[in-house]
Structure 1
Amino acid sequence: MKILALRLIIIIMMSLVGAKVPAQDSSSVYNRLFLEAVVERQKGNDTAAFDLLQRCVQINPNAAESHYYLAHYYLKLKKNKEALACFEKAARLEPSNTTYTETLAEMYVSLADYKNAIALWEKIFETDGSREDVLEMLFRLYQMDDNLDMAINSLTRLEVLEDKNEGISFAKSEILTRLGKKEEAIDEIRKLAEHYPSDLNYKGLYADILMQNDYDNEALKVYNEILDEEPDNNRAQMSIRSYFLKTGDTAKADSMTMKILLNKNTTGEGREYLLRQLISEEGNDGVDSIKVLSCFETIQRSDCRSADIGLLQAAYMRMKNMPSDSVERVLRQVMTFAPDNAPASLQLIYLEYERGNFEQVLKLAATSSQYNPEEMAFYYFEGMSLYQQDDKDGALNAFRKGVSVINDRSNPDIVSDFYSVLGDLYFQKGMRSEAYAAYDSCLQWKPDNYGCLNNYAYYLSEMGEQLEKAEQMSFKTVKNDPKNATCLDTYAWVLFKLERYAEAKVYIEQALQNEEDTVSHVLYEHAGDICAMGGFTEKAIEYWKIALQRDPQNKAIQRKLKHKKYIRQ
Structure 2
Amino acid sequence: MNRFAATTLLLLGLLLAGPGYAQQPADKETPAADTKPRKLSRKERKELARRAEVDAARQQVRELSEKDREMSESFFVEGVKYVLLEDYNKGLERLLKAYALNPTNAAINYKIAETNLLSGNLKDATNFAQVAVKLDPKNAYYYLLLAQIYSSQKQYDQAAKVYTSLIRDVPDSGYYLFNLADLYMAQGKLNEALTTFEQAEKQFGPLDEVSFKKQQIYLKQNNLDKALQEGEALIASNPDEIRYVLAQAEMYATNNRFPDAIRVAEKALKQDPDNPQARMILADIYRQQNNKPESDKQIKLAFESPALDVDEKVRILVDYIKQLPNPALEKIALDLADITTRIHPKEAKAFSVAGDIQTITEHKEQARDNYLKAIRLDNTKFQIWQQVVLIDAELNQIDSLLRHTDRALELFPNQAPLWYYNGVAQLLKKQPVKGVKALEYGRKLSTDNPELLAQIDTQLGDAYHELKEYAKSDAAYEAALTFDANNAQALNNYSYFLSMRGEKLEKAKEMAGKLVKQFPTNDTYLDTYAWVLYKLKDYTGARQNLEKALKTSSDATIIEHYGDVLFQLGEKELAMAEWQKAKKAGGASALIDRKIKDKKLYE
Indicate the TM-score class for this superposition, using the shorter chain for normalisation.
Answer: 0.5 to 0.7
The equivalent position to 2:301 in structure 1, one of 298, 301, 307, is 298
Matches within 5 A, 1:551-566: 551=554, 553-554=556-557, 555=560, 558-559=563-564, 562-563=567-568
Moved more, 554-563 or 433-442: 554-563
Partner of 1:525: 527
Matched, 1:475 2:481: yes
In 2, the alpha carbon distance for the partners of 1:171 and 1:439 equals 63
Q: Unaligned regions of 5+ residues in structure 2, if any?
A: 1-108, 114-121, 134-141, 570-600
Partner of 2:421: 421
In 1, the alpha carbon distance for the partners of 2:313 and 2:473 equals 52
In 1, the alpha carbon distance for the partners of 2:278 and 2:475 equals 55
Matches within 5 A, 1:110-125: none
Partner of 2:513: 509
With over 3 angstroms needed to count, the CA separation of the structure-2 counterparts of 1:138 and 1:305, relative to structure 1, is closer
Partner of 1:435: 435
| 8 Å CA contact retained: 1:170, 1:189 | no
In 2, the alpha carbon distance for the partners of 1:149 and 1:350 equals 52
Secondary structure at the counterpart of residue 181 of structure 2: helix
Q: What is the one-letter code of the residue matched to 2:227?
A: A
In 2, the alpha carbon distance for the partners of 1:176 and 1:324 equals 44
| 8 Å CA contact retained: 2:462, 2:473 | no
With over 3 angstroms needed to count, the CA separation of the structure-2 counterparts of 1:389 and 1:186, relative to structure 1, is closer
Q: CA deviation at 1:217?
A: 4.6
In 1, the alpha carbon distance for the partners of 2:185 and 2:191 equals 10
Q: What is the one-letter code of the residue matched to 2:409?
A: V
Partner of 1:400: 406
With over 3 angstroms needed to count, the CA separation of the structure-2 counterparts of 1:137 and 1:325, relative to structure 1, is closer
Q: What is the one-letter code of the residue matched to 2:231?
A: Y
Q: CA deviation at 1:435?
A: 1.2
Matched, 1:226 2:230: no
| 8 Å CA contact retained: 1:135, 1:157 | no
Identical counterparts, % of pairs = 10
Higher radius of gyration, 1 or 2 = 2
In 1, the alpha carbon distance for the partners of 2:188 and 2:359 equals 61
Q: CA deviation at 1:209?
A: 0.9
- Per-residue Cα deviation, 1:364-387 (whole angstroms, up to 9, x for no partner): 777665545556788778778888
Q: CA deviation at 1:421?
A: 2.7
Structure-2-length-normalised TM-score: 0.53
- Per-residue Cα deviation, 1:302-359 (whole angstroms, up to 9, x for no partner): 564665676647965967624866654444444443334445545369759977896x
| 8 Å CA contact retained: 1:491, 1:504 | yes
In 1, the alpha carbon distance for the partners of 2:512 and 2:533 equals 9
| 8 Å CA contact retained: 2:523, 2:548 | no
| 8 Å CA contact retained: 2:147, 2:160 | no
Q: What is the one-letter code of the residue matched to 2:430?
A: G
Q: CA deviation at 1:233?
A: 4.0
Partner of 1:205: 213
Q: Unaligned regions of 5+ residues in structure 1, if any?
A: 1-97, 103-116
Q: What is the one-letter code of the residue matched to 1:297?
A: K
Secondary structure at the counterpart of residue 466 of structure 1: helix
Matched, 1:169 2:181: yes
Matches within 5 A, 1:289-328: 289-300=292-303, 304=307, 312=316, 316=320, 321-322=327-328, 328=334
Two-structure CA RMSD over aligned residues (Å): 5.6
Q: What is the one-letter code of the residue matched to 2:262?
A: D
Q: CA deviation at 1:124?
A: 6.3
Structure-1-length-normalised TM-score: 0.56
Matches within 5 A, 1:87-486: 126-129=130-133, 130=142, 152-153=160-161, 156=164, 164=176, 168-173=180-185, 175=187, 177=189, 183-191=191-199, 200-228=208-236, 230-231=238-239, 233=241, 235-245=243-253, 249-258=257-266, 279=284, 284=288, 286=289, 288-300=291-303, 304=307, 312=316, 316=320, 321-322=327-328, 328-342=334-348, 345=351, 347=354, 351=358, 370-372=376-378, 392-393=398-399, 395-406=401-412, 416-443=416-443, 444=445, 447=449, 448-449=451-452, 451-461=455-465, 463=468, 464=470, 466-467=472-473, 469-471=475-477, 473-475=479-481, 478=484, 482=486, 485-486=488-489
Aligned length: 431
Q: CA deviation at 1:242?
A: 4.6
